[in-house]
Structure 1
Amino acid sequence: MSELARQDRRTPAELGFDPWSPAFVAHPYDVYARLRDQAPVAWYEPSNQWLVSRHADVGALLRDRRLGRSYLHRFSHEEFGRTPPPPEHEPFHTLNGHGLLDLEAPDHTRIRRLVSKAFTPRMVESLRPAVRRIATGLVGELVADGGGDLVAGVAEPLPVAVIAEMLGIPEGDRQLLRPWSAAIVGMFELSPTPETADRAVRASIEFSDYLRALIAERRRAPGDDLVSALIAAHDEGDRLSEQEMVSTCVLLLNAGHEATVNTTANGWWALLRNPDQLAALRADPEGLLPTAVEELLRYDTPLQMFERWVLDDIEVAGVSIPRGAEVALLFGSANRDPARFAEPDRLDLARTDNPHITFGAGIHFCLGAPLARLELAESFGAVLRAAPGLRLAAEPGWLPGYVIRGLSELLVEV
């Protein structure tokens, strides 16, 4: 029987794909293996998407300009056969629609060029002492308490504190950031509820208002922070609009810190389940951390699915997908594809041939990848130094989300 004939008989649901199932969210990798083998490009009726599960296909589509994160640079909603979002969701879509993640050329090209002038590798590297100080302090508190929840104690506060320091947000206001971020990214899950949408809209308004006030303050009195650098960034007379600056700051917090939080927690859970690899890392943290960070990003990918619109008819692995369709690129599956990774289900912290796609590819490759890598290296390094005997205190549970996948808590003892 041909591969396409098998696809006709076995749908993703029949193969076990169910992003609303807690059991699937906790362990999707056996289902991914069946998808790659039997239905590598398949229509999934519940979400009205084409699922793409193989590394080669996902990587190629991320670079294919016949797909886009948006279609509005070429079509209206009606021309594309889509229903416009409800008017009451406008604050969320305005905020999200002016961020790099959801823009296409030429706007994406222009804004990324301007943001890159402010968000330079030199600026990121200059943050290392601050990141190390924050990580050391958070881990020190965890150790002083004899353990606790690694998610709430270290994984969540570290990237929030770092981005707040980058943006120059006063310390007294920083507790606002995580709730705003959590509310906004709820809209990236499949079929968000009306309550989720309401929370995202409120958070979009409040966060935008806060950042507009901060931008106005930095215009009056520039500082040594990213907001001031974004205000100053220009190219042949072109500058970022206020909305573009607001959306950039929110994207840096949301996309950057959600991935770092979940890679930290998921990574420690993977290490604690693989004691041989944890022992190797403890024996040589400086030598192994660079490849270990990449392997942990691959092994339990924080962003499991990345969606793209089909702007022109395409064919993927012999399957025709029409313009107007949406594809769901399964990052978690691509990062476990045996066609690209040797022994993909084995955690190998020394893995050097590791072209994972956790940060994407093409024009939307994650701008914050260097910062995420720095935060992860410093976070894992701080725990390894201060808590060399870290051990699991209780079996962890998973958050209900699938697209952004992470643990609800990770209780440890030191």
Structure 2
Amino acid sequence: MRDEPDRRAGRGAGDDPWRRLPAMTPAGRTTAPGRVRAVADPAAGSDVPPGGRTVAPSPLDPGAALDPHPVHRRLREDFPLTYDPLLRAWVLSRYADVATALTDPRFSHGHRPGDPACARTHTEVDPAELRAVVARTAYVLARRIAGRPQADLVADFCHWLPAGTVAAAVGVPYRDMMRLVRGRAATALAGECGGQIAVREKALASFLGNVLADPDQVAALRDAPSGLVARAWAESLRRDPPVQIAVRRTREDVRVSGGILPGGSSVALLIGAAGRDPERFREPDRFDPLRDDPGQLTYGEGFCPAVLLAGLEAEYALRALFGAMPRLRLADGFRPAPAGLITRAPRTLVVRPNG
């Protein structure tokens, strides 16, 4: 998955995932581009009016950047397969379909850390050394803000920790880490997976926002063992994934909920919608680290140094912040407000370091 901050982000490195395609019906017939999308299989549970056509919402509709969940809900329920002219792609929103598209060989695969294809590009890493680097960087950053009356954890902590750990791991001087590590230089220094710094930054902001928004979670995770923190991290990735939309292409016709995807089609996978699918998760909008039906789609299940690094950053972020600021809490009246279309996270986390 590539970090793509807004609708224009398809113009990054590599092929443009938003290139224009003809609007195709699930049966493979070409239709005129427009806001009308066809659902091929009424038996899939779609509420299709007489005539078989209606207008589906788009994940890029106005207002979706602030609250995409009503759009995601309607797509899951009424339009499990729909063509979106704004994305120039078919859209999948149900968990089962999105999870399949991320791993099925009938779909071309992007670079998602943890997938089997990415494992072949990695060199060996020492987990103990990586843990020490993350811990040291997190504690330095936490101590820098501990004495302040108020701080923004996004600007003062989340923005720096992922870059700082990569810089320390590859031996870049701290004073130079943001200039040398962020952006394209990160890929050259740490590989394509390790270079996804902005994705880890957003994931960390969402994780801290989820924890600090609930005093019960703060109490449970303040001195929690690594296993519980890891479950909370995975739960945050499920509920609030940093990458909301990933793009794949079909290699052949593929049957999914609602119809058949034609071979050679561009497909937009709504990671954010899939993570809150009530057919897969009980109380999907609730942040619950102890849930017995976990599942996240941000990362694959295989070993990847970047996946290990992201988890360590989440764990030591909590340990360092609560260690340096035992009374840390959100500022009075502040609530985390995630925003973004392609990637999503709180843009600010205003806290009172000393309660």
TM-score calculated relative to the size of structure 1: 0.66
Distance of aligned partners of 1:124 and 1:25 in 2 relative to their CA distance in 1, 3 Å threshold: farther
| Deviation readout 1:178-215 (Å, 9 max, x if unpaired) | 6x52xxxxxxxxxxxxxxxxxxxxxx5xx4xxx8xxxx
Q: How many angstroms apart in 1 are the aligned matches of 2:304 and 2:61?
A: 27
Work out which of the residue numbers 168, 181, 186 in structure 2 matches 1:165: 168
1:35 CA drift (Å): 1.4
1:398 CA drift (Å): 4.9
Q: How many angstroms apart in 2 are the aligned matches of 1:10 and 1:142?
A: 53
Q: CA RMSD in A?
A: 2.9
1:141 CA drift (Å): 1.3
8 A Cα contact 2:242 2:345, kept in partner? yes
Distance of aligned partners of 1:303 and 1:366 in 2 relative to their CA distance in 1, 3 Å threshold: farther
1:285 CA drift (Å): 5.8
| Deviation readout 1:147-167 (Å, 9 max, x if unpaired) | 311011111111101111222
What is aligned with 1:390? 328
Matched to 2:320, the amino acid is A
| Deviation readout 1:128-182 (Å, 9 max, x if unpaired) | 122111111111111112231101111111110111122222334312146x52x
Q: How many angstroms apart in 2 are the aligned matches of 1:101 and 1:280?
A: 31
Q: How many angstroms apart in 2 are the aligned matches of 1:315 and 1:284?
A: 44
Q: How many angstroms apart in 1 are the aligned matches of 2:296 and 2:75?
A: 19
1:277 CA drift (Å): 2.7
Matched to 2:347, the amino acid is S
Distance of aligned partners of 1:5 and 1:351 in 2 relative to their CA distance in 1, 3 Å threshold: closer
Gap regions ≥5 residues in structure 2? 1-41
1:12 aligns with 2:56: yes
Distance of aligned partners of 1:372 and 1:142 in 2 relative to their CA distance in 1, 3 Å threshold: same
Q: How many angstroms apart in 2 are the aligned matches of 1:151 and 1:273?
A: 15
What is aligned with 2:282? 342
SS in structure 2 opposite 1:127? helix
Work out which of the residue numbers 110, 115, 131 in structure 2 matches 1:128: 131
Distance of aligned partners of 1:382 and 1:58 in 2 relative to their CA distance in 1, 3 Å threshold: same
1:292 CA drift (Å): 1.2
What is aligned with 2:105? 65
SS in structure 2 opposite 1:269? helix
SS in structure 1 opposite 2:86? helix
Distance of aligned partners of 1:361 and 1:57 in 2 relative to their CA distance in 1, 3 Å threshold: farther
Distance of aligned partners of 1:398 and 1:284 in 2 relative to their CA distance in 1, 3 Å threshold: closer
What is aligned with 2:343? 404
Counting aligned pairs with the same residue, the percent is: 32
Q: How many angstroms apart in 2 are the aligned matches of 1:290 and 1:112?
A: 21
Distance of aligned partners of 1:31 and 1:154 in 2 relative to their CA distance in 1, 3 Å threshold: same
- 1:226-265 → structure 2 map (5 Å cutoff): 246=188, 249=190, 251-255=192-196, 257-265=197-205
| Deviation readout 1:75-126 (Å, 9 max, x if unpaired) | xxxxxxxxxxxxxxxxxxxxxxxxx559x9xxx95x742x33x243xx2332
Distance of aligned partners of 1:360 and 1:290 in 2 relative to their CA distance in 1, 3 Å threshold: closer
- 1:45-124 → structure 2 map (5 Å cutoff): 45-69=85-109, 100=111, 112-113=119-120, 115-116=121-122, 118-120=123-125, 123-124=126-127
1:283 CA drift (Å): 6.4
1:379 CA drift (Å): 0.8
Work out which of the residue numbers 360, 370, 378 in structure 1 matches 2:316: 378
Matched to 2:55, the amino acid is T
TM-score calculated relative to the size of structure 2: 0.76
Q: How many angstroms apart in 2 are the aligned matches of 1:357 and 1:316?
A: 18
8 A Cα contact 2:235 2:295, kept in partner? no
Matched to 1:150, the amino acid is L
More helix, by proportion:
1
8 A Cα contact 2:155 2:348, kept in partner? yes
8 A Cα contact 2:133 2:169, kept in partner? no
SS in structure 2 opposite 1:368? helix
Matched to 1:375, the amino acid is E
Distance of aligned partners of 1:252 and 1:3 in 2 relative to their CA distance in 1, 3 Å threshold: closer
What is aligned with 2:81? 41
Distance of aligned partners of 1:60 and 1:383 in 2 relative to their CA distance in 1, 3 Å threshold: same
Matched to 2:295, the amino acid is P
SS in structure 2 opposite 1:404? coil
Q: How many angstroms apart in 2 are the aligned matches of 1:142 and 1:345?
A: 32
8 A Cα contact 2:153 2:351, kept in partner? yes
1:358 CA drift (Å): 1.7
- 1:295-334 → structure 2 map (5 Å cutoff): 295-334=235-274
Matched to 1:251, the amino acid is E
Distance of aligned partners of 1:276 and 1:398 in 2 relative to their CA distance in 1, 3 Å threshold: closer
8 A Cα contact 1:264 1:380, kept in partner? no
What is aligned with 1:137? 140
Work out which of the residue numbers 298, 307, 311 in structure 2 matches 1:358: 298
Distance of aligned partners of 1:69 and 1:63 in 2 relative to their CA distance in 1, 3 Å threshold: closer
What is aligned with 2:17? none
